[in-house]
Chain A
Amino acid sequence: QTHLICCFSPNNRQGKLRLQKWFTPLPERERKKIVRDMTTLVLARKPRTCNFLHWKDLKIVYKRYASLYFCCALEEQENELLALEILHRYVELLDKYFGNVCELDIIFNFEKAYFILDEFLMGGEVQETSKQSIANSIEASDMLQETMEEYMSKPAF
């Protein structure tokens, strides 16, 4: 079970958060502190080091995609290689949806990024292992939304 999955871009030594999904109940202040500590640790990693690091009694798995870091926090006994695959799968899903996803897509359409995450993970566990299946569900949900009212136009920046 993952406790947290988040995505941030480097901003000085701390990260600028673009997305965070918690799967464990924690007070807001503690969440902020944990995210701050985590992003600082990840950004302090030297180049050419592995994708894993330890923090308190958790494992942090992170991977950098262009200007964004995706990372998640796991219990000690979880399989960190699979977590790396989970992060990669999520990025693939974003890429499929937005078409060559870039950071601005996730900034200006953050709620879509969350909707996609919610089709992929639930309660900290993988819910669907087929990319196509998730893509179909999102498309169908979007259509359901747009037939109701036209409120989400294509990103324009």
Chain B
Amino acid sequence: MSPSVRLQELIRVIRSARTQCEERGVIQRECAAIREQFRQNDNGGRSHNLAKLLYVHMLGYPAHFGQMECVRLIASPRYSEKRIGYLGAMMLLDEKQDASLLITNSIKNDLSHSSQYVQSLALCTLACMGSAEMCRDLAPEIERLLKASNSYIKKKATLCAVHIIRKVPELGEMFTPSAHSLLSEKNHGVLHGAVVLITELCERNTQTLDNFRKVAVPELVQIMKGLVMSGYSPEHNVAGISDPFLQVRILRLLRILGRNNDRASDAMNDLLAQVATNTDSTKTAGSAVLYETVLTVMDIRSESGLRVSHPPNGEALNVPYISMTSLLKIVQTDHNAVQRHRGTIVDCLKDQDASVQRRALELSLALVSSVNIRSLMKELLLFLSTCPPELRAHAASGIFIAAEKYAPSQRWHIDTILHVLTTAGSDVRDETVPNLIQLITSASELHCYTVHKLYRALVTDISQQPLVQVACWCIGEYGDLLLKGDCEETEPVQVTEDDVLDALETVLQSHMSSPATRAFALTATMKLSTRITENVDRIRSIVSIYGSCIDVELQQRAVEYNALFRKYDHMRAAVLERMPVIDKGQTNGEIQAPPNLLDLLGGVCPAPGDVTVSLLASNSTDSDITSFSLQAAVPKVGSTSYPTTTKPCSTTNESPHQGSFCQDTAQIDSFPTTAWS
């Protein structure tokens, strides 16, 4: 194949390759030829070659060797070469590449080129991949172009300014003066850009927001009125709506300006009512505008009479999704209005479209109240058993939160959690297990009921880890109630001690049980030694077997329990007795810290320097603490990353037993300096 094969010829050859391997061969040969040509001098085919390379890049092949060629082509005097060079820069370069800085000078020159189409290339590229440095360099040029007489350039310069502000927010001040005057333009492109620019400025600076609120609201209302009430405008009409793109942006800006401000909100009320009534929402364009109107009405302090009577429609298949989404916005301010639609929402839970189901789930969770909790929870639990897997975790945690807030009785609460654990046990969060345990201990009159239910669940299925863990814990704790053989709240089981121990041993030996679950089972078995009468020897032998288990955690526990049997048998009953009700919020002990440390990020800050933290903890669980370490994490204030500075300090390896105290001290002596500014 000759090296100067045209772009379209190459595309044809690549497409006719019958296998991936053949395609790769063709491309490798061609790329080698292109590389060779790049090294040569200007031969009139440079734009061909770059275009070919860009095609190959789009197929997923590496093309980084074309970066310098882009730089060269951008600097060429020929428009065709500039055009493809800039396209290449946008596709192959991003702000992280070093080569991108090299085009800054070319862009600068092209911004003042005599042809507006060359200026346009430069503006577009800067707005697409300009780094913060490039933006800083070229901002004055952009500001100059904002005032140019040509609306083609003005509209592009405006959006370029938006990009600059996103990269370097401090430069917002430079563009604020021109931004307002742009609102008086007639050209829709410039107007749209101006609205976007003002939105961006207002979102980043409250002072600017206040200023624009005072001066821009009447103008925006006027423009919007013009768009809504004007007749047919062929240039901007979309399905009967005049320039829906501009209308939506103006509505969004009005929302930002009207938020939390009665005067501004009042000024827009009439307009919003007009838009709501006059916009035909049967097509997507209209419903887009109506949707934005709903968002705006909800967000500003709107008169209570101004409620959108019908949610936006749009194309038939999108209607359920759009209705749900609108209702979701409305529910935060007008809960009762949305309650009326509960039937539809519950129906949407059963829709075959996963996007609709997701929205319906969010809405259902938002609608839960003490009045409808029982019926709504039935629907939610049904949903949980049939919903798409990606929604299960969200549904499960939502159900837990709703149950906690509105549970009509403790028994209902426990039942609900158990139902979730049985249906979606693998999707629940880790803290579900301790939370449920805490709930169970506090429902003391239900201990018998709970242990019966959990025992039944355990013998049916031991694959759901959280459920198995809670069941083991319960059986260990309340096994005596299980063996008594009578229960008020539910049909009692008739089990022998062997049956119960069998169940626990099955868990211990099953390959489905995680290490944590087996630990629960072992501890439960041990606890039963004080609650049963006949089979203590069996427990003793189980425990001694695990004294040589490969799992270190299990082995350690087994050894300690063995010791409890042998040397400390007199203490065994006391150690393993029924646990007191666990207080919420206190799981592993109390933490005391110097008072001024609690207010580290606000108010009085201790001077930068050394801070000493003492941790005094007591072990209120019935197992031993095998180790604890004190770590301090200092979040970097004002950065977007998570807490990054940790200062691991000393660790202790004492094994305090139940009830004893342990203490540790740590020194924090390096705070990031930004934490104090």
Contacts and interface: CB of A to CB of B under 8 A. Distances in A.
B11 A123 contact: no
A128 B192 CA distance: 8
Interface residues of A, number: 58
Interface in A115-129: 115, 118, 122-123, 125-129
B84 A157 contact: no
Contacts of B48: 151
A54 B94 CA distance: 27
Interface stretch (B236-244, B424-432, B464-472): B236-244
A107 interface: yes
A52 interface: yes
A81 B287 contact: yes
Contacts of B352: 46, 49
Contact of B115 (A53, A123, A144): A144
A114 interface: yes
Interface residues of B, number: 75
A35 to B, nearest CB: 9
B317 A50 contact: yes
B280 interface: no
A32 B356 CA distance: 28
A4 B349 CA distance: 30
B373 interface: no
Contact of A123 (B78, B127, B245, B246): B127
A50 B321 contact: yes
Q: Which of A21, A27, A52, A144 has the most CB of B within 10 A?
A: A52
A18 B356 CA distance: 29
B186 interface: no
B179 interface: no
B355 A53 contact: yes
Given A25-B129, A145-B80, A130 B124 contact: no
B98 interface: no
A107 B58 CA distance: 11
- In this complex, the member of B78, B128, B358 whose beta carbon has the largest number of chain A beta carbons within 10 angstroms is B128
Given A81-B291, A123-B160, A145-B83, A130 B244 contact: no
14 contacts: A17-B58, A25-B95, A49-B317, A51-B315, A79-B252, A82-B244, A122-B127, A125-B159, A127-B156, A128-B188, A144-B79, A148-B80, A155-B8, A157-B8
Interface of B: 8, 11-12, 15, 44, 47-48, 51, 54-55, 58-60, 78-80, 83-84, 87, 90, 94-96, 115, 117, 120, 123-124, 127-129, 152, 155-156, 159-160, 162-163, 166, 188-189, 192-193, 196, 235-236, 238, 243-246, 248, 252, 284-285, 287-288, 291-292, 295, 312, 314-315, 317-318, 320-322, 325, 352-356, 358
Given A129-B243, A141-B79, A149-B80, 8 more contacts: A26-B94, A48-B317, A49-B355, A81-B314, A123-B159, A132-B235, A144-B117, A151-B48
